[in-house]
Structures are given as C-alpha cells and as structure tokens.
Structure 1
Amino acid sequence: MAKLKKGTRCTVCKSKGEKTKAVVFLPHHRLALCREHFIQWFEKRVEKTVKEFRMFSRKDRILVAVSGGKDSLALWNALVKLGYEADGFYIDLGIDQYSQGSKELAYSFSEKIGRTLHIVSLKEQIAPIPVIDKATDRPACSACGTVKRYYMNRYAKQLGYSIIATGHNLDDEVAVLFGNTLRWEIDYLKRQYPVLKEEKGFIKKVKPLCKITEKESALYAFFNNIEYIEYECPFSEGASSIEYKEFLSKLEEKHPGTKLQFYLNFLKKMYPILKEHESKQAEEVKTCVICGEPSFSDICSFCRLKQKVEKVTDTN
C-alpha cells in the first residue's frame, strides 16, 4: 500500500466537488480514497466479483469459513452488509492460545453482526492439529487443509447451506499460483479458480476476495472496527507460501498491479486451456467406503488421515 502525499484528496469526493482528504491510496487502481469511499469500494468490488463469476445469489444460504482472521471476518461483514444470507463456520483446531483467541474473536463478531456461528471442535471429532501433526509425515498445513475441507463440506450439507465461501485473498491466490507454476503442478492449476462447482456431494466453493489484497482486507477490517487475530498460526512458520508472498510483495512495490495482472491473465488465458484438458480426462467422483463422503478414491483422504491418527493414539 503506497504512502499518500500530504494533502491528497479522495478521488470520489474530488469528482463531486468536495475536499475530503484521502486516507488510503491504491496504486494498482490509481485511487485515493477517504474512509467512507474505501469501504464502499471494497464492498462493491466483492459484489462485482460475486456477479462476474456467478458465485451465488441472494436466494442462496452461504456458509462463510471463519478463522478469526481479517480476511474471513471482512468477507463475512461485507456479505451481510450487501444483503446476503451468510452465517459463519469455525473449526477449533485445538492449537493452544491461537485457537482459543481466534474462536473468541469469531464468536464475538457473530454476535456483533447478529448472525449464527457454527463451531466444530477437532478435539471432539478426530484430534487437535498438534496431535495430527505428530501422527503423520505430511506438513501440518497439508493435513490441516484436508481436515478443514472435509468438515466444511460435510457440515454445509448437514446444515442446509448451498455455498461455502472462503476468505482467500489476492495475495493467497497469487502465492499458490506462483508455487504451482514453479513446479508445474497441473492438477492443482486446473482447480485454481474462484469457483469450484457443486459436484456429486461436493458443495459449491467460492472465493469472493480473490481480487482484493491482504492489506485491503486489513484496512476494511480496521475501518469497520472489526477485531481479528493478528498473528499467524504457529504451524505456518517456514511455509513456502509465506516466502512467495514476501517475494511477490517486493515485486508489487516496484511494479504496482503485477499480482492482479498475473492472476487475471492466468484466469483469462491459461485456465480455459487447462479446463478443456480436464473435461477430456475428468476424475471420477466416488463415495468413501468408510464415511460415505465424496472422494476420488475408495477411501477419502480424511479417513486415511484419521486411520493414521487412531493408530498412533491407540499405540500411546
């Protein structure tokens, strides 16, 4: 986020003949905005993204995956203000103070906006993330992602929601895209789209913040007095995605708009080619023989993970 020059006026206010001072400058959009017009810009951008990718309508019941962080709470706030029927879904990962603090913030925010927050505890369902991490040779973030996707999909169906919305922002998407491109992970690239359609037991998943940066989400949260957990999950330390974000942010500082163009050009030029390839070699969606949830193999990745955890905990 570039610094404002002293005395810079809000672009929108200036067009109306007003002299309100700007509080934020968005270099890749060439916009200087006051608090009021930044909030409006953020919410309009969310609405425009929802419509552009046909994510959902006001008839849908939306379940927002809430972590207690700035992005998910900002998304939830924006959707509610825009008139969508959106409730929250929080997974207590059992990571000591991090989980306790984020859960409290998520719950207090749900009360503030008057919407329901559904809470699931991994300790009661399978095991806390620290235990899961010790039971598997997979990176903690990978195992955590498997667990989150499983419970989001399962509970969305049980609770009667047609859409799962996550707070993945532009920085998240670009970091993943950059990493997958470096390794040419075609299978992952084929699925990197703001909308994953409903398919044989999989609920439709959407990312309404995919064109909004992490800093823009933080500002929106700040201007709306949204209290969120300000430190990263302790298990994310050393993750390659964080290093990619740092590298791409330095590039963005020198060349504003790089992240957005990289992402949008992928969606416009490369994704259609990958999608055509996918349609010819689509994976068959099966039903897990253990839990009955959709899977691309006889036993879903969650149940395989659960078996490993049970084996370790039974031994101990």
Structure 2
Amino acid sequence: MGLRKGTKCRICKTKGKKTNAVVFLPQHRLALCKEHFIEWFEKRVEKTIKEFRMFHKNEKILVSVSGGKDSLALWNALIKLGYNADGFYIDLGIGDYSETSKELAKKFAERVNKTLHIVELKKEFYPIPTIDEKTNRPACSACGVIKRYYMNKYARELGYSVIATGHNLDDEVAVLFGNTLQWDLNYLSRQYPVLREENGFIRKVKPLCKITEKESALYSVFNNIEYIEYECPFSEGASSIEYKLLLNQLEEKHPGTKLKFYSEFLKKVYPIFKEFKAKQDKPLNKCKICGEPSYSEICGVCRLKREVENKLKIKREVSR
C-alpha cells in the first residue's frame, strides 16, 4: 500500500498540526512528513546502536564510505547524533565508477567538515580490474576480502576503535537468505550486527541493519546528500541482487517480511550458530608475510597478491 493523497503525518497529528505526509513506511504502518522522517531515521540508527551495544560517544569511529547512499546517510546520521565519526574511502581503480564515487565522498566530507582517509588500491595492491583479469576469483569476492583487510589495517594504525559500514536491511536479508539456502553454517554463525574486536581485528558494526535501502535513499535525498546512483559494473549478475529482487516482491505483498526474517534470526537462530562458531573457531595468528591478523598462515590478501603476481610473471615470460 502506497501513500494516499491527503494523508497527514502521524507525529504532526499528535501535536495538533495537519502537515501532509511525504513518506509511508508500510512495515511500520507509519506516515511521516519530511522533518519527522529524518528524525525517525536518526532515532532508529541510535536505537540500533544501543540495542547491540555497538559503540559509545567517546569512541573514535571510522565509517567505510563508498560514495553511495547508505554509507553517506550513515555518516551524516552519526555526526548529527553527536558521534566522533570520520570517513574511509578505498579507491578500487574501477574507472569512472571509482572516480565519481571518490569525488562524491570528498564533497560530502568537506560539507560536514570531517576527515576522509583515502587509500588508492593501485598503490597498495592491484586495482580490481587487474585482479578480476588475473585470477579465477569473482571480482565481488576479491573486493570484499581486500576492503576488509585495508579497513582493519588503517583503522588500527590511525587509532580508531570501531569500523562502521553502511550495510542495510536489504543487504543483510539477501546475505542471510543466500546462506540459508546453502546452510552455510560458517557464515551464518558470523552474521551479526557487531563483530567484536580480537587480537588485531577492530570491532565492526552495521548501524543500518534494520533500515531498508529505500529508507536510506530517502534520508539522503531529504538531506540533499549527493551520492552515486548506479551500481559497480562488477556487481552485474551477482546472486545477492537476484535475492533482493525476489525478497522485494515478497515484501511488496507482505510488508515487514524482511525485518521479521532478520530480527527473528538474530533473536532465535543466531545464538545457536554462535555456539557452533565457538566450537569451530581456529586460533587467530599473524600472516607470516604481512603480519596482519589471519586465521591461516597466509592471509587472503597476500594469497591473492601472490596469485596475481604469478600470472603477471607468466605473461612477462611468454611475451619475451
């Protein structure tokens, strides 16, 4: 059900005002004006932070920003809520997509007068197009490994105690759905809004985990936040996108399905998988090549780098 013409903002009505609503949230049965939607969004972020004990006002937070609506909406909300939050952007070297998203992230950082740390992958490692060309690993999988590695490395070195990412409810539900289809116990045991710090790993949190993609888009639009509106070219054909489309169809018919699926998992099922994880956990070591924390002798990034360098070496030898 959409917003009916003439519907009034519920919060305004309680204050004796008759302001027209501009947003209807079917899963909450809530019609709101622009001002009260922004207020609702920020309160929901704050409530999620407190519910999962993500962090406190005196902690230094590093927000992983991509130039997209979710991460910029999160950064904006945290600043307005009074948190000490800076940004962290990884230039993946994906042509115009990376250039555009980087400029938008820089523009937003200037607007809120906050620090944006930028890491260029071509200087640290190899750009994603090269990795995609030289390895058999899907680009999105390699990108995820690399992002987590550099976020953790720089957050620790720069003195931040928390890494916040813009994963929204749609992201979390799509991942949960895929992992449930495969009954991937390892991933299911780690799908929680907070990953606690341990032996070199910085705490990672997802304050938007109960906010939908549409809600973060609306929040960005209402706050005049300019963001990149198209997907990364390497994400085309990803199973998570197909899952999102399927789940959106279900949500359209039965509002609140996604939130209930995710919330009930966290409340009833995750505790069981948490016990499984505790029994299966391997000791945390340091990568013997780079010294970063790793559950194996050589971390995923160093293995990936070795694979790319071997392919480049073979290519050079063949071309001689």
Provide the residue aligned with 1:197 in structure 2: 196
Work out the CA distance in 2 between the residues paired with 1:288 and 1:135.
23
Deviations 1:167-213 (A, max 9, x none): 00000000000000000000000000000000111000000000000
Q: What residue is the counterpart of 1:64 in the other structure?
A: 63
- Number of the residue aligned with 2:260: 261
Q: Output the CA distance in 1 between the equivalents of 2:192 and 2:24.
A: 28
TM-score (norm 2): 0.97
Partner AA of 2:186 in structure 1:
D
Match of 2:229, SS state, is coil
1:281: how far off? 2.7
Secondary structure of the structure 2 residue equivalent to 1:172: helix
Q: Partners in 2 of 1:118 and 1:310 — Cα distance? A: 27
What residue in structure 2 maps to residue 168 of structure 1?
A: 167
Post-superposition offset of 1:165: 0.2
What residue is the counterpart of 1:23 in the other structure?
22
Q: For 2:230 and 2:107, how far apart are their aligned partners in 1?
A: 18
Tell me which residue corresponds to 1:302.
301
Partner of 1:55: 54
| Deviation (angstroms), 1:88 | 0.3
Shift of 1:224: 0.0
Supply the distance in 2 between the matched residues of 1:235 and 1:301 (Cα, whole angstroms): 20
Superposed CA deviations along residues 132-184 of structure 1, whole A, max 9, x for unmatched, are 11111111000000100000000000100000000000000000000000000
Q: Secondary structure at the match of 1:88?
A: strand
What residue in structure 2 maps to residue 285 of structure 1?
284
The residue number in structure 2 matching 1:117 is 116
Structure 2: gaps spanning 5 or more residues: none
What stretches of structure 1 of length at least 5 have no aligned partner? none
Q: Distance in 2 between the 1:164 and 1:312 partners?
A: 33
**Structure 1 segments (4+ residues) deviating >3 Å:** none
Q: Letter of the aligned partner of 1:163 in structure 2?
A: V
State, as a whole percentage, how many aligned pairs show the same letter. Answer: 72
Distance 2:57 2:233 in 1: 37
Alignment RMSD (CA, Å): 0.7
> Residue 141 in 1 paired to residue 132 in 2?
no
| Corresponding residue number in structure 1 for 2:231 | 232
Tell me the SS of whatever aligns to 2:8: coil
Q: Distance in 2 between matches of 1:240 and 1:194?
A: 22
DSSP-derived class of the 1:119 partner: strand
Match of 1:274 in 2: 273
Secondary structure of 1:251's counterpart equals helix
Report the Cα distance in structure 2 between the residues aligned to 1:9 and 1:132, rounded to whole angstroms.
52
What SS does structure 2 have at the residue aligned with 1:205?
strand
Secondary structure in 2 matching 1:256: coil
CA distance in 2 between counterparts of 1:280 and 1:310 reads: 36
In the alignment, the residues of structure 2 paired with residue 7 and residue 85 of structure 1 have an alpha-carbon distance, to the nearest angstrom, of 40
1:186 aligns with 185
Q: CA deviation at 1:312?
A: 2.1
1:305 counterpart SS class: helix
Aligned to 2:41: 42
Q: 2-side partners of 1:219 and 1:264: how far apart?
A: 23
Alpha-carbon distance in structure 1 between the residues aligned to 2:239 and 2:68? 20
C-alpha distance in structure 1 between counterparts of 2:23 and 2:276, whole Å: 43
1:248 aligned partner: 247
| Aligned-residue offset at 1:3 | 2.1
* Corresponding pairs, count: 315
Offset at residue 280 of structure 1 (A): 2.4
Moved more, 279-288 or 75-84: 279-288
1:216 aligned counterpart, secondary structure:
helix
TM-score, normalization: structure 1? Answer: 0.99
Separation (CA, whole Å) in 2 of partners of 1:280 and 1:312: 38
| 1:230-269 superposed Cα distances (whole Å, 9 cap, x missing partner) | 0000000000000000000000000000000000000000
Name which of structure 1's ranges 281-290 and 74-83 shifts more when overlaid on structure 2: 281-290
Return the alpha-carbon distance in structure 2 between the equivalents of residues 232 and 26 of structure 1. Answer: 25
Describe how 1:77-156 pairs up with structure 2 within 5 A: 77-156=76-155
- Inter-partner Cα distance in structure 2 for 1:180 and 1:31: 31
Single out whichever of 275-284 and 251-260 deviates more from structure 2: 275-284
1:219 aligns with 2:218: yes
Q: How much has 1:301 moved relative to structure 2?
A: 0.6
SS in 2 for 1:291: coil
